[in-house]
Homo-oligomer: A and B are copies of this chain.
Amino acid sequence: MIIKIGELAKISGCSVQTIRHYDKEQLLSAKIRSDGNFRLYDQADIERLLFIKHCRSLDLSLAEIRQLLSLNDSPMSQCDDVNQMIEQHIEQVERRIADLTQLNKQLKALRLSCNSKRTVEHCGILKQLNEAVSQTN
């Protein structure tokens, strides 16, 4: 079964442009083209794209996915590289969660300092933002 890019897009849920982008980025290259230069894909390509999509849903970067794909393609390499990447990625995600949680606290405190019916002249939010400035300064 051989399909063109539009159908691959439908099957995979990726956009046509995204698939072309992965081609340019060497993640999923169409090995064959039609006479008129249309990209042609087979079952293996579908699976590879779904693999990529799943990895993206885990927020892995294209560079990381490229590495996973190449490890996947050479079965005798060791697990360590895969492991290390996933671990670093986990750390990064956890750091980001911690940052955002902190941020969320500050934003909520800020939100509480305003009760909507004033002019901004007396707005607690802007007052707080301005005060933070004069403290730093």
Binding site for B on A (CB under 8 A): 46-47, 50-51, 53-55, 58-59, 68, 71-72, 74-80, 82-83, 86-87, 89-90, 93-94, 96-97, 100-101, 103-104, 106-108, 110-111, 114-121, 123, 125-126, 129-130, 132-134, 136-137
Contact = CB atoms under 8 A, between A and B. Distances in A.
A75 B119 contact: yes
B83 A121 contact: no
Q: Tell me what chain A mostly uses at the interface: helix, strand, loop, or mixed.
A: helix
Contact of A78 (B55, B76, B120): B120
Contacts of A126: 68, 71-72, 82
Contacts of A87: 111
